[in-house]
Amino acid sequence: MSGPLAGLRVVEMAGIGPGPFCAMLFADLGAEVIRIRRPGGTIFDTEPRFDVTGRGCRIVELDLRETDAVETALALVEKAEVLTEGYRPGVMERLGLGPDVCLTRNPRLVYGRMTGWGQDGPLAARAGHDINYIALTGALHAIGRPDTPPPPPLNLVGDFGGGAMFLAFGVLAAVLEARASGKGQIVDAAMTDGVALLSAGRFAGRASGRQTNERGNNMLDGGAPFYDTYACADGNFIALGAIEPQFFTRFREICGLHDPLFDEQMNKEKWPAQKRALAAMFRTRGRDEWVTLLGGDDTCATPVLDWDEAIGDPHNTARNTFITIDGVKQPAPAPRFSRTPTAVPRSARVSGDDTHEILGKWGLAKPHIDRLLA
């Protein structure tokens, strides 16, 4: 393995969505990630290579209803620095793999727990999904147009931003501390906590009076005419983000917007009229025509690309933002490192193919492995 996390051993309890994504981040950066999964269990019902968030990880199949399997999982935990899981509170304890047991076997272990609601609180035991977690933090209310219900912003904000990314950040912080102190700890990563923290700037705006609770009435939520998307003549869209005065001035110069209506950029009373004028202007040309006109200057105007177009974009192509693994186009590992660069990840593994090899490599005796597999 190559990358800045080479040498880090991670045991991941197989789950869905943000859990595998967090494990993929570790694997992308060089960690050895072992995913414990029930025999025959899989997220994808097609070829493993399509399971992008499973790339770089290796699989050990264990039926944790069996005593030998639990003991095997604990043996792996003893050799790891990190364990991550994304089950509801209490599930790992019922399996015999709770933090008390694992930290007794490995006092240096960082035990990462990710849930939507957290390990405690009135909702801790309740089911939920990304849309529920971002709804409870105020973030969902702030997204969308003022005359429509808030739209689900995919599951990027709660699952991956507020969940997986904060789990990865917290786990790595705890690993640094454990390497210094020799003591592990539990990392409680709740998506509600993470999304609330992602919204720090919005709460600062509320406290200062710069941010209103009205959707589509603020600078970054589509209220400002200079920070929004606009439909073009061909049905495609352009994204405009000319916040700073110098960028807005250059945008006006190129587009010939000499109307005094645009002189007061930050006058919210004029925003609706400015927005109507810009909407009419953008409808006069196709998206690519606007990109040709505006894209070569500091106007902060870019095309709104779909998934397929993004892969072929010249900037993304030049930076190899997307790579191909086993015929599957997917995002490359990020961020990038000057001295410890990451390798191209291998695609997800066929379930169970690695079990015997991994258990032997991690120090389990052959009679134990043979008995377990039998």
| pLDDT tens string 313-341 | 999 999 999 999 999 999 999 999 999 99
Q: Which pLDDT does position 119 carry in this prediction?
A: 97
Together in a domain, 156 and 14: yes
Q: Which pLDDT does position 371 carry in this prediction?
A: 79
pLDDT tens sequence across 131-162: 999 999 999 999 999 999 999 999 999 999 99
The residue range of the domain holding 295 is 227-317
Q: How far apart (Å, rounded) are the C-alpha atoms in residues 154 and 280? A: 29
Instruction: For residue 184, count CB atoms less than 10 angstroms from its CB and return exposed for 0-12, middle for 13-18, buried for 19 or more.
Output: buried
Q: Which two tokens stand for residue 345?
A: 């990840």
Percent of the chain at pLDDT exceeding 90: 86
Q: How far apart (Å, rounded) are the C-alpha atoms in residues 25 and 56? A: 9
pLDDT tens sequence across 166-175: 999 999 999 9
**Has residue 13 got a pLDDT over 80?**
yes
Together in a domain, 275 and 329: no
Q: How far apart (Å, rounded) are the C-alpha atoms in residues 33 and 72? A: 16
pLDDT category, 1, cuts 50, 70, 90? low
* 207 occurs within a structural domain: no
* 172 occurs within a structural domain: yes
Determine how β-strand 9-13 pairs with β-strand 58-61. unpaired
Together in a domain, 257 and 327: no
Together in a domain, 89 and 156: yes
Last residue of a domain, one of 292, 317, 342: 317
Element (H, E) at 173: helix 165-181
**Has residue 243 got a pLDDT over 90?**
yes
Together in a domain, 31 and 63: yes
Q: How far apart (Å, rounded) are the C-alpha atoms in residues 234 and 306? A: 15
Q: How far apart (Å, rounded) are the C-alpha atoms in residues 145 and 149? A: 8
pLDDT tens sequence across 277-286: 999 999 999 9
Together in a domain, 136 and 275: no
Together in a domain, 17 and 158: yes
Together in a domain, 184 and 245: no
Together in a domain, 245 and 152: no
DSSP secondary-structure letter at 143? S
* 343 occurs within a structural domain: yes
Together in a domain, 150 and 296: no
Q: How many domains does the chain contain in total?
A: 2
* 346 occurs within a structural domain: yes
Cβ contacts of 234 within 8 Å, gap of 6 or more: 286, 287, 288
Phi-psi region of 39 (alpha: psi -120 to 50; beta: other; left: phi over 0): beta
Q: Which two tokens stand for residue 22?
A: 């967090």
* 67 occurs within a structural domain: yes
* 66 occurs within a structural domain: yes
Annotated catalytic residues are 129, 159
Together in a domain, 255 and 175: no
* 308 occurs within a structural domain: yes
Q: How far apart (Å, rounded) are the C-alpha atoms in residues 356 and 337? A: 33
Together in a domain, 176 and 37: yes
CATH code of the domain containing 267 = 3.30.1540.10
* 257 occurs within a structural domain: yes
CB 369 within 8 A of CB 80: no
**Has residue 275 got a pLDDT over 60?**
yes
